[in-house]
Structure formats: structure tokens, C-alpha cells
Amino acid sequence: MVVKLKSKALFIGPYSNSQQGLFGRVFLLRKREQLTFEAIANLLTKSGTRSVNGCLLGAEHVFSIYKKGKLRQERLTLKVEIVCKLKPAFK
């Protein structure tokens, strides 16, 4: 029996709690409040939020967090398709 399993959803990749929290804030501000990335960066900077590495957040950083976080969410919600093919033992 041959079992083929192919999916991008198998690799989860670690997100720390702070990374997940930062993405969650950026995502909500973008979707619910419909703020621009520049406005989100300014809001987060004023509230004292910094990147995971401790740097100030610019619009480019916020966009990157948003884009990569959405790609990760899409990858993790993919359906895994398993295909089983039975091959005869003798030819």
C-alpha cells in the first residue's frame, strides 16, 4: 500500500506568544478599524508596543507582520488530502 500525504499545513512553525499577540492586534486594527498600516504603526508606537526584537514599528514592519500572519493562518487552515492507492503485490 502506498500512502501519499502532501500539504503545506504540516509545518506549523513556531510563533511565540508575543508574536501571536502582535499579529492579533495588527489584524484587528486593520480589519475592524480599517486603519492604514501607517496609522497602526503610529498607534502601536504611542502605546509603547515594540517589535519582538525591541525595535520601533514602522508601516513596513506592520505590513510585514500582517502579510506573513495572514499567510500563516491560511496555511494552517488548509485541508489535508490523503490519497491511498493499493498496488498489487505481484506483477
- Overall domain count for the chain: 1
pTM of the predicted protein model: 0.71
State how far the alpha carbon of 87 is from the alpha carbons of 4, 51, 91, in Å: 13, 53, 9
In a domain, 29, yes or no: yes
Q: What is the pLDDT of residues 3-23, one digit of tens each?
A: 666 666 566 667 788 888 899
Q: What domain range is 18 assigned to? A: 2-85
- Tell me if 90 is assigned to some domain: no
Instruction: With respect to residue 41, please indicate whether it lies within any of the assigned structural domains.
Output: yes
Does some domain include residue 91?
no
- Reported as a single tens digit per residue, the pLDDT across 21-67 is 899 999 999 999 999 999 999 999 999 998 878 888 999 999 999 99
